[in-house]
Every structure is written in C-alpha cells, then in structure tokens.
Amino acid sequence: MVMKLAFSTLGVPGLPLTDVLGLATAHGYHGVELRAHPEEPVHPGLPPGERAAVAAGFKEAGVELLSLAGYARVAAPGDDDATVSEIRALLDLARDLGAPYVRVFPGGGTGQSPEEADATAARRLGTAAEYAAELDVRILLETHDSHRTGADAMRVLGLVGHRQVGALWDVMHTWLGGEQPSDSYLALAPHLGYVQVKDIASADDTTPLPLGAGVLPLTEVVDVLSRHNWDGWLCWEYEKRWYESAAPLPELLDAGREHLARLLSDAA
C-alpha cells in the first residue's frame, strides 16, 4: 500500500503557481490540488498559452497536478445547461493541464426534497460524464453540504452509474454528518477518487488546525484505507481562504507531512 500526499491551494489563496510548486517540492508533497476559481492564478478562463505554461511548470517541478477543485453545484435548483457548461469548462481545463480529476459540489437547495436533489445531480452528472469520457478526466462529487456523508453521495452516484463520475471523500463533512470512517469508506470505495484530510477543534468551530491537533478521526480514516489496501491520494485541504486568523499553511507543511507519514507507518 502506497498513498501519495498532496495539499490544496485553498491553504495558500492567490499564491503564484511557481511558489506553490516550490512549497510542494521543499516540503516533500507529491502533488497539488488547485483551487480553480477566478480569484486564483489557475481557473477556467485561463488562455491557451498560460494553460501550456502551467502544465509545463508542473512537469518541470516533478509535482503531480492531482485535481482541479471547481465550484459547480450539481444538485442546486436552476438551469441544467448552465451547470453542465460550468463542468465542461472545468473538464477542458483539466484536460489541458493534465489533471485526472475535477471536483464538484452537491449544493442542494432549500425547498428541494432529497429525491429531487438526487435526481437533479444525477441527471447533470450523467450528461457531463459523456464529455468527461472523451477527455479522459473524472468528475468527483465531494461529500459536502447537502450530501455530506458517503451514504448521501452514493444515492447520487448509484443513479449516475458511469465510470467517469466518482467520489471525493472530505473527512470533515462525513464526520459532521455522523458517519463512521468505516461506513464512509464502504459507501464510497467503488467510486473513490481521493481523500481530503484536515483537522478542526469541534463541530462548532471548524477553523483549520494543524493535522493531529483537532478532533477529526484521521487515525481511523488512514486505518480503514490501509486495511483495504487503498493506494490513492491523501490531500490536505487547509481552509485558510475562509479563516484569516488561521496560522499560515507554509509553516505547517513539514509537520503535516510528518503526521500523515506516521499515521501511514502505524497503519502498515
């Protein structure tokens, strides 16, 4: 079992890509999850020449581009075409940059029944999946907001039934949803793309903390992944963008890598 380690640029908002890649190489991370938003250096509006430069930068640094974290909300009320177009633009960017995955949110709204939200998300993901297959990029539905547990996400993924649509396990949201790591894994395993790890003080205080300093069941998550010989990615999503008071991520990267390495060693 070999798991690779990455971090998300949500922890270093707005940082130039050369600096992001420098952090990855300096602190021993194998890959980076790029937050694909207009306020970031890399986003779907990037022109072709800059896309080529980004791809070349990753190759030169020897760092893998794990995923593009987009913001399409597939279960949200509204127009299907607009949501599918947003996903397609993200898929185009992933293809150009060489990213194997793109992240989408559920984003179900008030006034929807769970069945309606599931059907809306599945319909849009099913449509986008055909385009994703052409580009050889996989769409991952994150356990988040209206579908925060593995069981919630599986209701949608079961309806989609397409190999190009999978799951992104955010361990904070499954925990907040009251789901045990073993149950989350069993629900998501057939579709699991990668796992986002993080730590927080409590359900009432989700300010990001250094890995191991909070209450999230990271040991149990790594244990269950190890028991099933899962060999994918652990990506540290440190949500500095939303919590200005949080400590800067760069000064935590070494300790975070070492903590994950210890968990992996203990679980081996």
Phi, psi of 142 (to 5 degrees): -80, 140
Res 197: pLDDT: 98
Kindly give the pairing relationship between strand 165-170 and strand 138-142: parallel
SS3 184: helix
Q: What domains, with CATH codes, occur in the chain? A: 4-267 (3.20.20.150)
Res 1: pLDDT: 55
Structural contact between residues 27 and 254, judged by C-beta atoms closer than 8 angstroms: yes
Q: What angle, rounded to 10 degrees, do the helices at 253-267 and 218-227 form?
A: 50
191-249 pLDDT per residue, tens: 999 999 999 999 999 999 999 999 999 999 999 999 999 999 999 999 999 999 999 99
Structural contact between residues 176 and 203, judged by C-beta atoms closer than 8 angstroms: yes
- d(CA 190, CA 199) in angstroms, rounded, equals 25
pTM confidence score: 0.97
Res 111: pLDDT: 86
Q: Which helix (H) or strand (E) holds 142?
A: strand 138-142
The share of the chain scoring above pLDDT 90, in percent, equals 98
Res 135: pLDDT: 98
113-166 pLDDT per residue, tens: 999 999 999 999 999 999 999 999 999 999 999 999 999 999 999 999 999 999
Residue type (1 letter), 82: A
Could you give the dihedral angle defined by the CA atoms of residues 61, 67, 69 and 73, in that order, rounded to the nearest 10 degrees? 160
If one compares 1 and 103, the residue with the highest pLDDT of the two is 103
